[in-house]
Chains A and B, each alone.
Chain A
Amino acid sequence: MEYLIILIGAVFVNNIVLSQFLGICPFLGVSNKVSTSVGMSGAVLFVMTIATTVTYLLHQYVLVPMGLDYLRTITFILVIAALVQMVEIMLKKVSPPLYQALGVFLPLITTNCAVLGVAILALGLEDGNLLKAVFFAISSSAGFALALIVFASIREFLELADIPEGMKGVPINLLVAGLLSLAFLGFAGLV
């Protein structure tokens, strides 16, 4: 039940993109095609899960015992940055097509607030433990994926629409995101 609440909370109610405002940049940037957004979601899922695991352990077993929780930000981001770069280099070799598709965006994951944000939020879970933190990370990335993929499919559709000149590009994307977020308000109070 607890896990169900985390899942529903992270995916629908407090969707990291639509209501927490984390990971907006890739949300707006990598969402012009459904196929790339699926790839990006995969990458985020992967990085977010590993990053949260590592940072949670780091926090629990190193920072807190040593009284260094003020180093949280810097250590977390260092871990994430190194991790992303590692993934990037590996991907280039292991799966060039995926790299082609995500190439430019992988570095974006480093500067993706969602990864760091979730790592930090995971520390604050009620009765937290490692498993819960990791599950939270997975749920959050599922929420990210949901928002991203739906958004990408809408953008693909809008490519065929006659958007007024002034609205094209940034404004219309923001507007769609806003209305999406408005619709998701309906889930308020579920958890």
Chain B
Amino acid sequence: MSDQPIIVSASPHVHSDRTSKKLMYDVVIALVPAFLVSLYVFGFNALIVTTAAVISCLLFEYLIQKYLMKTEVTIGDGSALITGILLAFNLPAGIPVWMVVVGSLVAIGVAKLSFGGIGYNIFNPALVGRVFLLVSFPVQMTLWPTAVENNTSIVDAVTGATTLGLIKEGVQFGETISSLSASIPSAQEMFLGITSGSLGEMSALALILGGVFLIARKVISWHIPVTVLASIAVMTGVFWWIDPEHYANPLIHVLSGGAILGAFYMATDLVTSPVTKKGMVIFALGIGVITVVIRLFGSYPEGISFAILIMNAFVPLINSYFKPRRFGSRIKAKIM
């Protein structure tokens, strides 16, 4: 018998070895390949932006919890770390560091801790931070350094437009997709990640690799990413089929912009997505549709951030209408 008093508690007395901390660090691991690609593409800049975001997210979480809220500090649980990384992944490489810090403050202070911390936030913190910056500083947020192979210096960041930006501008000016095709990177380039855009949305390959890892580790289920990407593909496919000169083909839509990053890592945020599989599918469908609507008809070239935030707002509603079927709720029991 141990000298300490015996423990009494209600059942169950054993627990699986999965912890929320492990889930979070799995996500961090999954993001490593994409980070390496961004390092390769953007060099030092990628490192600066990511470090700034991660450090400021952790720091704000620590400071606010310790001195403002006076609650337990939870920076060890990995969620602020993910928020930092994903925020950075959603920013262009050349953005001034102070803006990254502001974005982190909004993400952690406004979107997460104001609601009581991990688990209670309605909206995806990293995306709130990102959209806040996008709306506040549209210029810096759409200044895309182009990929220069092995570019490791900060200075010669050349700005170029993203694929979606090119298409949007071009179509607005009456050009056709085929006339634009010269300036659009090829599907292969997009897949491997030699194009311009936010830090983390470079390589579809690296992102999918991490995503598959997460699915294999059962951190996320396939429902959200697959539905989001499928609905984007189907919807853009329909428009493309109707008028291929005005609407880009679905492959471009799926591979470009933040579609994959959003579908695998941001729409799947456990806290801000529905709990049931049925709910997840509805949620993801909404994201896909809104993304396409914004991309094709709205004023922003890219819409997945907004789409995720909008659907985040619907999560409580989805959760209360798409409940699991209760056992034994069949009206009439069948006896032979």
Contacts and interface: CB of A to CB of B under 8 A. Distances in A.
Interface string A152-184: 011011100111100100011001100110111
B-side interface size class: 35 or more
A186 B309 contact: yes
A158 B120 contact: yes
A164 B114 contact: yes
Contacts of B117: 162
Contacts of B132: 182
The residue in B113, B294, B310, B314 that gathers the most chain A C-beta atoms within 10 A of its C-beta is B310
Interface stretch (B55-63, B217-225, B297-305, B326-334): B297-305
Nearest to A182: B131
B313 to A, nearest CB: 5
A189 B298 contact: yes
A178 to B, nearest CB: 9
A interface SS class: helix
B134 to A, nearest CB: 9
A188 B128 CA distance: 17
A152 B49 CA distance: 37
Interface in B89-134: 110-111, 113-117, 119-120, 122-123, 128, 131-132
A175 B298 CA distance: 25
Contacts of A153: 314, 316-317, 320
A186 B115 contact: no
Interface residues of A, number: 28
Contacts of A189: 297-300
Given A161-B120, A189-B298, A189-B299, A183 B115 contact: no
Given A158-B115, A186-B309, A190-B293, A163 B300 contact: no
Contacts of B300: 186, 188-189
B146 interface: no
B306 interface: yes
A89 interface: no
A149 interface: yes
Contacts of B320: 34, 153, 156
B30 interface: no
B313 A183 contact: yes
B272 to A, nearest CB: 11
A176 B122 contact: yes
A57 interface: no
Given A158-B115, A186-B303, A189-B299, A150 B313 contact: yes
A154 B316 contact: yes
The residue in B111, B120, B316, B320 that gathers the most chain A C-beta atoms within 10 A of its C-beta is B316
Nearest to A160: B120
Contacts of B123: 179, 183
Contacts, number: 95
A3 interface: no
Interface string A136-161: 00000000000001100110111001
A163 B310 contact: no
A188 B299 contact: yes
A21 interface: no
A185 interface: yes
B69 interface: yes
Given A153-B317, A161-B115, 16 more contacts: A150-B314, A153-B314, A154-B316, A157-B122, A162-B117, A163-B116, A164-B69, A179-B111, A183-B310, A186-B305, A186-B310, A189-B298, A189-B300, A190-B293, A190-B297, A190-B299
24 contacts: A34-B317, A150-B314, A153-B316, A154-B122, A157-B122, A163-B115, A167-B114, A167-B115, A179-B110, A179-B128, A180-B313, A182-B132, A182-B309, A183-B131, A183-B306, A185-B131, A186-B294, A186-B300, A186-B306, A186-B307, A187-B306, A188-B298, A188-B300, A189-B300
Interface of A: 34, 149-150, 153-154, 156-158, 161-164, 167, 171-172, 175-176, 179-180, 182-190
